[in-house]
Structure 1
């Protein structure tokens, strides 16, 4: 990943095909070379930390994740959230290759803003994936339907010349020879995937496995600007890709490093 080292970015952790960067996502995205990334997966803050309650492992717990998921001024939440989304998506577009694609995960709390921000910043939406969870937390309030899905938007640059990669035959093969649909069903993250440390919004490995198998090939560079505990990086390595992860919490990058070290050990 020589093209990224030329910018003299201070790295938290680095191997031949991995770079973990600690710091502000906006500042670090500006330091990456333009059009140097093949695929981006992002799981940005949902802004759910509002002192409410939820259920986890049969216990009533706070919905608060951390300071990065909290908005101080509730009255300006909508405007601030959309401004935040447009800003990081704009920076991602700058580093994405002309034929690259971006995947963004979210709930109804932020996904509609993200969809609009993508179109406003010059992207075209390819697919709207519904991830249906087989074991969602129960609805404690009993005042609405149980929230059991998340949305994953897949998009490319809104350029008619853009030719993004879609491994259609591989997806069909993994779906018993049938075209894969845009509703994916599976469980929440397994405890075994959290043995190196926990992150409040960690995605299951099978989800990133499918995303990267659908849109990457060996040698691609995959970026996660909110990498959390590093599931994107684990699956990038398994698919023969290089990985760049950004996070502003050192504890999470330490978890990512431990997971990637284990993965590199098993691969090489």
Structure 2
């Protein structure tokens, strides 16, 4: 039954579609549901009454737990207000692992502590069987001098060359704030947020399910990292956007045989147990203490096919094709406007 959904984005009500997924068949489930804050979704009314919203949430959360394998993980992203309710639902069915605080300051809001983070609940279907990998992110450095932003005092000899283990507070992944990077969706997440979650909880070819697919961040992250994906969304336009984006994605976020998360051709997340295989791919200072002032550099940056490079090549190819087959002013004047005629003229 699961095969008809595998590596596809299916339009429909997530509750009805989840009921068609067999028990214990998905490696991780991730959900970024509507926040019930009157956001402008295309096909969903984001303003339910409190109990109606909570009942609905409990229903799809129960289905997420049911379809997740005993070795699998459940991740829920939302504002803290709703996550407290989600936790009460999950505590009955799964094992709490972490409340991940994703640093994301917002505009001032009235007489209260100012919201400064989104939460991501991390639960195990069964903590004793959980598949989990420690992950690392690069050292945080000052913008101009590139020295370590954190003062490690006399403990610099203990520094890991690449960077520290990731904690449950994520400050190095930023929200998508600029319209030129956004799709037509009110709550788009950055791709490397999902890549981090996928790297720490799955292996190659594992299945990642997102019942609120939106414009496809989870599915794209899964495909880039060599995982299989299942996506559901109520809106046909969001489904279409995702399908078009997936057509241009390849499973290429890796160095050698190790899957990593790239951002602008820099490695932003890697698995701790992959470091022994990856370290030869970096220029690393001879003395550990020198990491304080000298960032490690990827040796083969120019030869690695990263998502950013693939996109750049695709755009260049499209522009080249456009230039090759569009009539120039000279050809227009001579009425040589057919593609075949122009192609023949260029080939001479």
User: TM-score, length-normalised on structure 1?
Assistant: 0.78
Query: For residues 113 and 156 of structure 1, what CA distance do their matches in structure 2 show?
Result: 17
Instruction: For structure 2, list consecutive stretches of 5 or more residues without a partner in the other structure.
Output: 140-161, 253-306, 311-348
Q: How does 1:2-81 map to 2 (within 5 A)?
A: 4-5=2-3, 18-49=7-38, 64-65=40-41, 68-72=44-48, 74=49, 77=50, 79-81=51-53
In structure 1, the partner of 2:273 is: none
In structure 2, the partner of 1:138 is: 107
Equivalent of residue 223 in structure 1, options 209, 225, 229: 209
In structure 2, the partner of 1:211 is: 197
In structure 1, the partner of 2:99 is: 128
Q: Any conservation in 1 of the 2:103–2:170 contact (CA below 8 Å)?
A: yes
Q: Which has the higher contact order (CA 8 A, sep 6+)?
A: 1
- Give the deviation of 1:146 after TM superposition: 3.0
In structure 2, the partner of 1:52 is: none
For these two proteins, the number of residue pairs brought into alignment is: 230
**Residue 146 to residue 182, structure 1, CA distance change in 2 (3 Å):** same
Query: For residues 164 and 174 of structure 2, what CA distance do their matches in structure 1 show?
Result: 22
Q: How does 1:118-267 map to 2 (within 5 A)?
A: 118-120=90-92, 122-133=93-104, 136-139=105-108, 141-157=109-125, 159=126, 162-168=128-134, 171-172=135-136, 176-185=162-171, 186-189=173-176, 191=178, 193-194=181-182, 197-264=183-250
User: TM-score, length-normalised on structure 2?
Assistant: 0.61
Q: How does 1:84-103 map to 2 (within 5 A)?
A: 84-103=56-75
More strand by share: 1
| Secondary structure, aligned partner of 1:262 | coil
Query: For residues 173 and 23 of structure 1, what CA distance do their matches in structure 2 show?
Result: 37
Q: Any conservation in 1 of the 2:226–2:251 contact (CA below 8 Å)?
A: no
In structure 1, the partner of 2:280 is: none
**Residue 86 to residue 198, structure 1, CA distance change in 2 (3 Å):** same
Instruction: For structure 1, list consecutive stretches of 5 or more residues without a partner in the other structure.
Output: 12-16, 50-62
| Secondary structure, aligned partner of 1:164 | coil
Q: Any conservation in 1 of the 2:207–2:230 contact (CA below 8 Å)?
A: yes
Query: For residues 109 and 67 of structure 1, what CA distance do their matches in structure 2 show?
Result: 24
- Give the deviation of 1:70 after TM superposition: 2.3
Query: For residues 64 and 131 of structure 1, what CA distance do their matches in structure 2 show?
Result: 23
Q: Deviations over 1:104-151 (max 9, x none)?
A: 10102311111111112x111111100002xx4422x54333322100
